[in-house]
Structure 1
Amino acid sequence: MQNSLKNLEKLRCSDTVRIVGMMTGTSADGLDLCLVEFSGTTRFPTFEVLESTTCPLPSHFSDAFKRPLELTVSTATNLSFRLGEWYANQLISTKWKFDLIASHGQTLVHAPPQYTLQIGEPGFMAEQLKTPVVFDFRSQDVVLGGQGAPLIPVVDEFLFRDETEVRAALNIGGIANITLLPTKADSRPIIAWDTGPGNTLIDRAMATWTQGAEAFDRDGAQARKGVVNQTLLGWLNANP
């Protein structure tokens, strides 16, 4: 614990920090890892993406993640520890050098404003890599009456907020969400909300259509072959 606190204090005073971000989403097909170097001490420091990769998720994890309400307490707890152990092993295998780990984990249940639960025991990463771990990104917001989601508006503001242009950013994850970004001079708050299922339905459609041969539409290859239903599009655009 003391070493972790010392490491965090050292990072707080550093002008350059390398952070590895990691998460498994509702698609439950892989662990995304991204190594980013941040420079500067302002709210929006400069950054450079150094490395990124996706580690395929073992089937015993993905199968369990797709039926979370069927898991017993002991099974879910064991799953959290085994997942955290697997996370640590994947990070070790990259041989990347970093100062901090940011681990979202895997959402098992999310029912704000009552509760939310992400698993993936961070202690394995902290111990095996001797590196501070930031985790449990959603709970405090739910405790304070928020929705605990979406998280992506923080990144949208960092990457896309403009001096003169009002922008909207659409993120089609397992659950899709939109962020509305006023101009930097505008004092109105950034707002964001979930719009409903995204890749969860697309993935299910692909698996059904290909009889299980394909779990998702890689690079949108099948979607590109489609023809837009202009009547349906017009109806959707007319919906306030």
Structure 2
Amino acid sequence: MPSRRKTSAHHYIGLMSGTSGDGVDAVCVHFDEDAPQVALAAHCYQPYPESLRERLLSLMVPGENEIDRMGTLEGELAEIFAAASTEVHRQAGLAAHEITAIGSHGQTIRHRPRGPHAFTLQIGDPARIAERTGITTIADFRRRDMAAGGQGAPLVPAFHQWLFGHATRTRAIVNIGGIANITVIPAADRRAVAQGFDTGPGNALLDGWVRLQTGAPQDTDGRLAARGQADGALLALLKDDPYFMAPPPKSTGREHFTLKWLDDRLQRLGRDLGAANVQATLVALTADTITEALAPLGPEEVYLCGGGTANPVLMAALTSRLAIPIQTTARLGLDPQLVEPTAFAWLAREALAGRPGNLPSVTGARHPVVLGALYPA
């Protein structure tokens, strides 16, 4: 299980900028070579300037002049990623040459996992990160899985299985970022494969709606949702989307669950619910789709991570729907906000060791593959 920092070589940096598009989390960690343990040396969070975030969120939805806009943002993000990497190893008291590698997820701006020419695109120029930091950088983790017939997502379940698996109990790890996803890890003694997929919106619509209504970047402490009540008719319209009924493997992103997607359903509803009631309904959508995805998989324990754990209204909604107690991954020793960046540090380690980083049972790939492209220091 996770522990505090070890004094040893082979430290890794993990960078994660999720679908919420609000900033980058950087961790500096050490992995035990003989057991599933990770020691946190340092963590820092670099928020994006508001002007950059506006342009980034806009780029996540199909629009005009995307190539030029992408090229500019890719360089800007890489500079922020590099600065966060330098800061986190400085906080850990380590020099650049003491870091084995950086694992950078990049910023997803498009994810089209279905069709004859499926693709996914993450930006944040890893060549520039390696150049600025002097540290070998591993990035572009998703595309090799897609080349092997997978959806390229979610990728973090392999790390969940490595770190959080239990000998006798089936555990579910629920990550609530902009998009929510689940990993169900069978007890080791049951000899079954892990399962996982994106369940649908996590915080993306919650953040987008409150931003549209109030200008705030998020619904802090769920205050807007707490003033409203979920509307059953709207909830039914939201859940009547083919994605929720599709079998796994499946993954999705902001390009599907947009504010326009929400507005189309509000228009079909044909009445004004008020901002708070819409927000409460979006909480119900996230909570319902997570719990309905978990129900047939039979977990005995549920642990949550991601930004959604900071929303007490969403946490209460999940608690009321699940028949088993829920806790955050802090109970297992890893801060719920740091699970994803730590996962990409781990995926960098696996790539350098030549070990596969995907779970075909999750992504649908034909076989396990080594993930990531190498950018030497």
The CA RMSD over aligned residues, in Å, is: 2.7
Are 1:92 and 2:58 an aligned pair? no
- Aligned mate of 1:32, from 17, 25, 38: 25
Q: Deviations 1:157-181 (Å, cap 9, x if unpaired)?
A: 1232111111222111110011111
Are 1:125 and 2:129 an aligned pair? yes
1:1-240 matched pairs, under 5 angstroms: 16-40=9-33, 42=34, 44-68=35-59, 69-70=62-63, 71-94=65-88, 95-96=90-91, 97=94, 98-113=99-114, 114-209=118-213, 211-212=214-215, 214-218=216-220, 220=221, 222=223, 225=226
Q: State whether residues 17 and 39 of structure 1, in contact with CA within 8 Å, keep that contact through their aligned partners in structure 2.
A: no
Q: Which runs of 5+ in 2 are unaligned?
A: 1-7, 236-283, 297-377
Change (3 A) 1:226 1:80: same
CA positional deviation for 1:86:
2.6
Q: Which runs of 5+ in 1 are unaligned?
A: 1-14
Distance of 2:181 and 2:163 partners within structure 1: 16
CA positional deviation for 1:18:
0.7
Query: Counterpart amino acid of 1:90?
Result: A
Change (3 A) 1:27 1:101: same
**Identity across matched positions, percent:** 33
CA positional deviation for 1:130:
1.5
Structure showing the higher helix proportion among its residues:
2
Aligned to 1:10: none
TM-score (structure 2 length as normaliser)? 0.53
CA positional deviation for 1:92:
2.6
Deviates more, 1:29-38 or 1:15-24: 15-24
Q: Deviations 1:18-53 (Å, cap 9, x if unpaired)?
A: 11101211111111111111232x4x4432112112
Where has structure 1 moved over 4 Å in runs of 4 or more? 223-229, 236-240
Q: Which has the higher contact order (CA 8 A, sep 6+)?
A: 2
Partner of 2:10: helix, strand, or coil? strand
Aligned length: 218
CA positional deviation for 1:225:
4.9
Aligned to 2:5: none
Query: Counterpart amino acid of 1:52?
Result: H
CA positional deviation for 1:55:
0.6
